[in-house]
A and B are shown apart, each in its own frame.
Chain A
Amino acid sequence: MNAETPAQSRPPRPLCILIAALGGEGGGVLADYLVDAASAQGFPVQSTSIPGVSQRTGATTYYVEIYPRSRDELGGREPVLSLIPGPGNVDVLMASELVEAGRAMRAGFVSPQRTTLVASTHRIYAIEEKIRPGDGRFRDEEVRQAARQLARRALLLDLSELAARSGAVINTVLFGAAAASGALGLSREACEDAIRRAGKSVEASLRGFAAGWAAAAAGDAATGSAPEAAPGAPGKAAPPEAPALAPALARRCEAEFPEEMQPVLRLALARLVDYLDEAYAASYLDRLRGLLEAERVSCALAARAAPGLAVWMAYEDIQRVAALKSRASRIERVRGEVGARPGEPVRIFDYFRPGIAELADVLPPRLFARIEAYAGARKPGGGWCIQASSASGQILLRALAWAGRWRRSSARFASENALIERWLAALRRHAGSDRELAFELAGCARLVKGYSDTRTRAHGHLAQVLEIAEAPSPGAGAGERVRALRETWLAQADGEPGGGGTSASGRGPASTKVQTVVFIPKPKPAAGGKAASG
């Protein structure tokens, strides 16, 4: 047989680098740096990309191949470099975001034999994760684990944080981290020179590069073994220290409730005292105690209902919003969030749009009912823009907040607490007989959120599950039905009126069926005339 195959005295294969980024993150500039640094060393190099519409925030990839022999050594021979990455054929995968790293793994670009994976661990949430009413965030721990198992070497670092700290764009930090891994085959000087030659924001870019380099060099030893941030709860703050409570409340709390419920109860009580007064907080304990007694054998149901009940009881009426917005601590928090430097004045403007429905927050039920009957359904009022940081704004907000002490007599207080009682009654009824149903129902407090129309719809949803629970005999599988409904509502993105077909009354889950709804009669003389003219 013919023994002369190209495998003999085989020349090296090209170094294949895939950059997975999001539009606007400078992936193209990063590819240019690589091309420039490789060219400066005399290596044949080629890059290509699919920008087009993916510039606009979508996922986008750039692909670079470097032939690691200088042209002088090649004697005029030109390597053939590919324009498309091949699965199992990528040496360095640089991903500016965690799910994008996952996407590249899914496509087979990360192989245990070849691939050095350099990826940022931060998340930029995709629109489908953001629009769900519950928690639609992708559980990204799977991606981290897959990265460690699939890559020849995985460098997982929060490059976004490093970029923010060094005042650079993430692409330069990614460049630094990848260069430090040694997998690019380019020296630090060659890379930094490429940044200098590009001539744009050179100082910031070099800072970013250095930050990436340092983090990769330091983190390399730790990668794979060091525990990373808690999975599934990105950015979730640790529970704060339990605030001080009035002695009477603290005593009741300790005497009447089991140890494991204490941290939540202390937070809840502090919030309700702040929201209204100690008596209101005590009524929270009464309500939970009712559940404990109905349950008898354990405290699981009360524990599940406790956080939601507290949030619900401290529902956000206009007085509450004004109280939260006028705090001095809030102004300091905003200053930090918007990156104001010391000495720079920050003016804060808040958006309110009180309509007829919001009058319920302050007016007693009978008066509100008469006004509502007179004015009809929600009449959109004009929007208010209040400057919380100004003197007049502060005084207005604080006055509104102060009025919160009378909210017991408001129509809203009556309606919210009536629904709370209905919910608690259903919980108590099933606590002993159908624990599954009671447990699922307890989780439904999570549905109650939002303002104006969103909240009306949430109440509608809750009423729907309560109807199941309030049936004379809900029957087997009622808990399962409640759970299914709740999860659907928390996951469906098109539950908004005008977003997919739910009626504004909030009755029933959204139907995605095409409906012919005739709302706008065309101003045509007569139906007959139209037919005739047609």
Chain B
Amino acid sequence: MERSFRSEVERLRLGRGETFRGEGILAVAKALLQSGVSYVTGYQGAPVSHLLDVFADAREILDELGVHFETAANEAGAAAMLGASINYPLRGAAAWKSVVGTNVAADALSNLASAGVKGGALVIVGEDYGEGASIIQERTHAFAMKSQIWLLDPRPSLSRIVDLVEAGFELSEASNTPVMLELRIRACHVHGSFTAKDNRVPQFSRRRVLEQPAFDYSRICLPPSVYAQEKHKVEVRGPAAIRFIRERRLNEVFPGEVAEIGIILQGGLYNGVIRALQSLDLADAFGGSRIPLYVLNVTYPLIADEVLRFCKGKRAVLVVEEGQPAFIEDALNSALRRADAGATVVGKDVLPACGEYTGEVMLGGLAKFLDLAVADGIDLGRVREAMERIGAPRRRAAELLREPLPARPPGFCIGCPERPLFAAIKLASRESGPVHIAADIGCHTFSTLPPFNLGNSVLGYGLGLASAAAVGPNLASRTISIMGDGGFWHNGLATGVANAVFNHDDGILIIVQNGYTSATGTQNIPSSGRNALGVVSHMTIAKALQGLGVAWVRKVGSYRVAEMACTLGEAMHTGYSGLKVIVADGECMLERSRRERPLAAQKAARGERVVRTRFGVDPDVCTGDHSCMRLSGCPSLTLRGNPDPLRPDPVAAVDDGCVGCGLCGELAHAAALCPSFFRAEIVRNPGLRDRWIDRGRRALIAMLGG
């Protein structure tokens, strides 16, 4: 990690009465310290990475409080670490990206929830749900229900989030059950403020250690304990949780004068619902709503008598619940049916079954609900008028902008070492024909997008190689699997490499070694050389491969396109029938430039000689066929109107963003593309020798003529 979180760390020190300003996920970090946690762990992933980043930089504070912090190998490891709370009165928290992280953690979570906890255990899940999400769209809610883990979904105001973190630990201890706090991506990144409290020194910690280990067979998942645990969940822990949630009023009811209808909503959607009500003149700027609201800050379990009380005397209630299946709506229907209560439940019939509930979606659903409910005191004419007014700009824009706008998917950064790798694969497959490529999770998943369009399947983080195991034997040509170094340590080492060696897999594995888990914000992994706290690790992928018995390993610099294509060809054709591993080695350019750019700037400012490299295109040599774009896709390689009036198509051009990574030159050579590229080296603060040579050269060129 080259990015520093020093100013964020300082905010973790704020004391009682001081105002904390910052991101939602950092407010959670502060709330953990206010709750007296003994340990914190997690696995990085947007949108929770910053929580781990800030703890990694907060060594001093953690030492003072005695909090143990470490990043886990994966989410399963993080969930397993919560096992410390099973036997001991230790509060602990783990954070990861959901739903994918929860999938990985599922085994440990089931065991944790079954055994039950003594110390409060909190899982913070960052939900990446919606149109722009880069993971599969499923609900964490299902995990909470099947393992009986209480699920918090706080209103997205910083003070409410912080309150619920603190209450979450108490709930966990009161019901001996782990608790999940679900934060949507915008809530993690929301910038707001809350009034801080003092950090709490944990009862037991690294600094005040427990005297001795505890043994309790009832915590072990063997008979008869397993069944007893299940019974305990139903008979003791469940009722205890419901009591706590009710008594502490974790859910909120906001009354309104149009009492014959109501809205039941997930806490996280509160601000969106209020905005929709405001748009229809049904709520004021401070959340005062004319329609009563029941806000579920705890979405599992549903507290039946609270729900019944809210629905009493109402003709219809709207359930605002994001994602599918509609667990809350179903539970509500069931609760009303059992009690023989009459309110009509409207939910997924007016709101979409899946997808993010954006402002527009919410508004549309609310308007439809009001139209159906025909409540006294709601002027439907005005609602329709407002909807008409709000929808007009989009309709007008569709008339004015007839052609579809070009899509702008994410892609590799300028100078990214992964771009040349996929250019090499594209070149190699010119010779060899199409190849099955098992893609993986990481920045390298962008290879599936234009201009590369490489990658036939994605099965999960670190599972690239495993996902090709049954493809290879059934396909005429060898398969290529991709794995990032992040994926290698997360899962791929055992699931992929060890198993492929064990089963004599004949495939090719490319390990993209850029030094960090780059897609999640460049966190350190074992082969980065240092752990999250900066302690040296001495672990390398090469040593790991050797230890696993991989006999065919080639390490190629990522930017060496021709060599990479050649090595791929060799792997394709070799007579060796075991696993062939190519380590594509090149440091993440984001990290490298964060480290090197300031140094170069300082050197230049001191008057020292600095050579800057940039690429360019000669517009009169470029014929405007854009084959370079189809092999590179670099954001700084772009188009420019053709300066030649005789040629109609735009030429290639390199813009000022170029970092001089060298790919353009490598491609010009490796692909025999075209000779229009050039590399320029600009010497800042030239020495005497530089200037003398330069003068000589210029004189010669002048002599040779224009």
Indicate if the CB atoms of A394 and B271 lie closer than 8 Å. Answer: no
A473 close to chain B: CB less than 8 A: no
Known: A46-B191, A86-B359, A150-B400. A451 touches B673 (CB 8 A): yes
Interface presence of B278 (CB below 8 A) = yes
Kindly name the residue among A271, A347, A490, A516 whose own CB sees the greatest number of chain B CB atoms within 10 A: A347
Does the CB pair A127–B191 fall under 8 Å?
no
Query: Does B207 sit within 8 A of A, measured CB to CB?
Result: no
B669 touches A50 (CB 8 A): no
CA distance A311 to B275 in the complex (A): 60
In the complex, A5 Cα to B696 Cα: how many Å? 84
How many Å from the CB of B289 to the closest CB on chain A? 8
Residues 149-192 of B at the A interface (beta carbon under 8 Å): 156-157, 185-187, 189-192
Contact of B46 among A51, A128, A236 (CB under 8 A): A51
> Does A367 belong to the interface (CB within 8 Å)?
no
Neighbouring B residues of A134 by C-beta, 8 Å: 649
Residues of A contacting B272 in the complex (Cβ-Cβ under 8 angstroms): 82-84
Which of B63-71, B329-337, B473-481, B491-499 is the interface stretch? B473-481
Query: 8 more A-B contacts (CB under 8 A) besides A54-B410, A307-B648?
Result: A48-B191, A56-B412, A83-B190, A88-B390, A137-B650, A328-B702, A338-B680, A523-B574
A493 touches B451 (CB 8 A): yes
CB-CB contacts of B458-473 with A at 8 A, as 1s and 0s?
0000000000000001
The answer to whether A444 has its CB under 8 Å from any CB of chain B is: no
In the A-B complex, list the 7 residue pairs whose CB atoms are closest, starting with the nearest. Answer: A108-B394, A86-B359, A383-B669, A58-B410, A236-B641, A498-B430, A345-B694
Chain B residue at smallest Cβ distance from A234:
B641
Contact with B along A67-109 (1 / 0, CB 8 A): 1000000000111111111111100000000011011011111
Interface pair A7/B281, CB less than 8 Å apart: yes
Q: Are A239 and B645 in contact (CB under 8 A)?
A: yes
Closest Cβ of chain B: how far from A340's Cβ, in Å?
5
Stretch at the interface among B217-225, B524-532, B631-639: B631-639
A233 to B430, CA, bound (A): 34
Closest to A521 in B: B476
Give B654 Cβ to nearest chain A Cβ, in Å.
8
Q: Shortest CB–CB separation between residue A382 and chain B, in angstroms?
A: 8
Assembly CA distance A499 to B331 (angstroms): 51
User: Which residues of chain B are within 8 angstroms of A110 by Cβ–Cβ distance?
Assistant: 393, 397
Whole-angstrom distance between the Cβ of A280 and the nearest chain B Cβ: 16
Q: Is the CB of B641 within 8 A of A235?
A: yes
Question: Considering the chains assembled together, what is the distance between the CA atoms of A54 and B128 in angstroms?
Answer: 13
Total interface residues in chain B, CB < 8 Å: 147
With A49-B189, A86-B359, A112-B393 known as contacts, the answer to whether A133 contacts B626 (CB < 8 A) is yes
- Shortest C-beta distance, B615 to chain A (Å), equals 9
**Segment at the interface with B among A181-189, A211-219, A350-358, A412-420:** A350-358
* CA distance in complex: A112, B396 (Å): 10
**In the complex, chain A residues whose CB is within 8 Å of the CB of B635:** 57, 124
Chain A residue nearest to B619 in the complex (CB): A333
Query: Which chain B residues lie closer than 8 Å to A481 at the CB level?
Result: none
Which residue of the partner chain A has the closest CB to B475? A516
Mark out the residues of chain B between 673 and 693 whose CB falls within 8 Å of any chain A CB in the assembled complex.
673-675, 677-684, 686, 690-691, 693
Output the nearest chain B residue to A530 by Cβ-Cβ distance: B473
Q: A519 and B394 in contact (CB under 8 A), knowing A143-B401, A234-B641, A237-B643? A: no
Taken together as a complex, chains A and B put the C-alpha atoms of A338 and B156 apart, in Å, by 47
Query: Are B681 and A1 touching (Cβ within 8 A)?
Result: no
A233 vs B639: C-alpha distance when bound (angstroms)? 11
Q: 25 pairs across A/B with beta carbons < 8 Å?
A: A6-B288, A53-B46, A54-B132, A57-B413, A79-B285, A82-B271, A87-B390, A105-B397, A125-B638, A126-B408, A129-B639, A143-B401, A271-B646, A307-B646, A307-B647, A318-B675, A324-B620, A344-B686, A345-B682, A394-B697, A446-B649, A450-B625, A451-B623, A499-B453, A523-B576
Instruction: Give the contacting residue for B443; candidates A56, A105, A520; CB below 8 A.
Output: A56
Using A237-B641, A334-B680, A518-B477 as known contacts, say yes or no to A343 and B426 having CB atoms under 8 A apart: no
Q: Who on chain A is nearest to B473 by CB?
A: A534
Q: For A52, give its contact among B46, B288, B431, B656 (CB under 8 Å).
A: B46
Decide: A349 near B405, CB < 8 A? Known: A80-B274, A133-B625, A522-B478: no
Q: Which of A67, A87, A264, A450 contacts B359 (CB 8 A)?
A: A87
Q: Does A29 contact B (CB under 8 A)?
A: no
User: Complex formed: what's the CA distance from A437 to B403 in Å?
Assistant: 29
Binary CB contact string for chain A from 151 to 185 against chain B (1 if under 8 A, 0 otherwise): 00000000000001000000000000000000000
Give the docked Cα–Cα distance between A517 and B614 (Å). 40
Q: A111-B392, A504-B430 are in contact. Are A494 and B134 (CB under 8 A)?
A: no
Residue of A nearest to B683 (CB): A345
Is residue B12 contacting chain A, with contact meaning CB distance below 8 A? no
Chain B residues with Cβ below 8 Å from A42 are: none
A330 to B616, CA, bound (A): 12
Across-interface contacts of B705 in A (CB, < 8 A): 328
Taking a contact as CB atoms under 8 Å apart, the answer to whether B626 and A109 are in contact is no
**B286 and A150 contact, CB distance less than 8 A:** no
B680 adjacent to A346 (CB under 8 Å):
yes
A383 to chain B, nearest CB (A): 3
Which of A49, A132, A142 is B626 in contact with, Cβ under 8 Å? A132
Q: A125-B638, A130-B629, A450-B625 are in contact. Are A331 and B701 (CB under 8 A)?
A: yes
Tell me the bound Cα distance from A357 to B630 in angstroms.
22
Alpha-carbon distance between A522 and B572 when the two chains are bound, in angstroms = 8
Residue in A closest to B410 when the chains form the complex, CB atoms: A58
Q: Is B642 an interface residue (CB 8 A)?
A: yes
**B residues 279-334 with Cβ under 8 Å of A?**
279, 281-288, 290
Q: Contact at B674–A108, with CB atoms within 8 Å? A: no
Bound CA–CA A330/B414 (angstroms)? 26
Q: Which residues of A contact B190 (CB under 8 A)?
A: 46-48, 83
CB pair B286 A77 closer than 8 Å:
yes
- Could you mark each residue 306-329 of chain A with 1 if its beta carbon is under 8 Å from any beta carbon of chain B, else 0? 011011000010100100111111
Interface residues of A in 442-496 (CB under 8 A from B): 446, 449-454, 458, 490, 493-494, 496
Query: A6, B290: Cβ atoms under 8 Å?
Result: yes
Minimum distance in angstroms from B656 CB to a CB of chain A: 7
Interchain CA distance A328-B697 in the complex, whole Å = 11
